[in-house]
Chains A and B, each alone.
Chain A
């Protein structure tokens, strides 16, 4: 665990209103179960907004370390030509975590499920010690495995197709994308989340983005049908 991560977690814990101890599962791990409010991250390079006195819900790395290919691809991106999300296609893993809609985590000793209100989809992450399969088919959301490092849950995801963007503003990625997420409970109602993106084709070095999720015991995930009244597409306003 890096010093910077520890410092940020301490700051996040101190800044968030202290609200009780961290719940644990019978096997002694911190519990991530519950419905979580997550910050909307349309641009992973930037900081999000925050009320005064509170650690920003999202801290970005600043300008991204593009390779020549990455920079050219980003400059050429035009959602006016085709916006896959407007057509309700899968968002892709990083963009799925970026939405303004809550997620629910359901935790068992060897498996964790993340249920997303946005696009009404899910991801199951085995935490039984397995590695990624040898030959991973490229998919929209990638192949995830999880492991514990002390009280931190580490989710490792590879095997992405090239049909998505990292975020709304259109930061690119290739099929070499490798995403590592670290989740830690800071107190009874908050979770510290750090996502690190590695993609040597698009970025000359990895970059990270940190967020705070807030537990919402009074929320339930609501139904979301992207297609139901999708006027942009049905009325021909986007391609």
Chain B
């Protein structure tokens, strides 16, 4: 039996660890754990359909242009039990998304956290994984 227990402080879901993200079945096929992205922008659309929720956001670039990104989250079922609903991210909502970009360099990312202007965080991935930011045994 392993004597060492892996303990984390269960805060609002942010725990940074230098381990690859295995949170998603196709993650390794599609996204790059070494390509962290921080996307600041406005929600344009949310797709709340299995197998994954997708958040579309208009990101303001430094040069003043806007790029539309799509961010993949966990299944709507899992997010729903964590208190996220299809009304949590209505079009027009300002958010910051932390995640990992697609390997092909396109404007797609696997989302880890969403942060609102008031500081609230929503964890988008799967709990109890090795993913950086995983909140462990979240209960709702």
> Residues on A close to B: CB < 8 A?
4, 7-8, 39-43, 46-52, 54-62, 78-80, 83, 85-86, 88, 100-101, 117, 168-169, 214, 219, 222-226, 228-232, 237-239
Determine the chain B residues whose CB is within 8 A of the CB of A169 once the complex forms.
22
Q: Which residues of B contact A8 (CB under 8 A)?
A: 1
Among B36-44, B75-83, B90-98, B111-119, the stretch that binds chain A is B75-83
Partner of A50, one of B1, B22, B137: B137
Please state if B29 and A49 are interface contacts (CB–CB under 8 Å). no
The contact of A168 among B1, B25, B102, B139, by CB within 8 Å, is: B25
B9 within 8 A of A: yes
Task: Provide the bound-state CA to CA distance between A214 and B134, in Å.
Answer: 19
Question: Is the beta-carbon distance between A85 and B126 smaller than 8 angstroms?
Answer: no
Docked-complex contact A49 and B49, CB < 8 angstroms: no
Closest A residue, CB atoms, query B138 = A51
Q: Which B-chain residue is minimally distant from A42 (CB atoms)?
A: B22
Assess whether A86 is in contact with B25, with CB atoms less than 8 Å apart: yes
- A contact face: mostly helix, strand, loop, or mixed: loop
Q: Are A57 and B137 in contact (CB under 8 A)?
A: yes
CB-CB nearest 6 A-B residue pairs: A49-B136, A229-B49, A86-B26, A79-B29, A42-B22, A85-B25
Contact between B126 and A100, CB atoms less than 8 A apart: yes
A154 to chain B, nearest CB (A): 20
- Which of A47, A49, A61, A223 has the largest count of B CB atoms less than 10 A from its CB? A49
Interface secondary structure of B, over-half rule: loop
Q: Nearest Cβ in chain A — how far from B5, in angstroms?
A: 6
Pair B50/A40 contact, Cβ less than 8 Å: no
* Residues on the B chain within 8 Å of A214, using CB: 139
Q: Is the CB of B22 within 8 A of A168?
A: yes
Q: Assess the A50–B6 pair: CB atoms within 8 A.
A: yes
B128 within 8 A of A: yes
**B29, A228: Cβ atoms closer than 8 Å:** no
Decide yes or no whether B55 CB sits under 8 A from chain A: no
* Residues of chain B lying within 8 A (CB to CB) of residue A83: 25-26, 29
Closest to A41 in B: B128
Q: Do B22 and A238 touch across chains, with their CB atoms under 8 A apart?
A: no
Query: How far apart sit A121 and B90, CA to CA, in the bound complex (Å)?
Result: 32
A-B pairs with beta carbons under 8 Å apart, 19 shown:
A8-B1, A47-B4, A47-B5, A49-B128, A51-B137, A55-B5, A56-B5, A78-B28, A79-B28, A80-B29, A83-B25, A83-B29, A86-B25, A101-B77, A117-B77, A169-B22, A225-B51, A228-B51, A229-B50
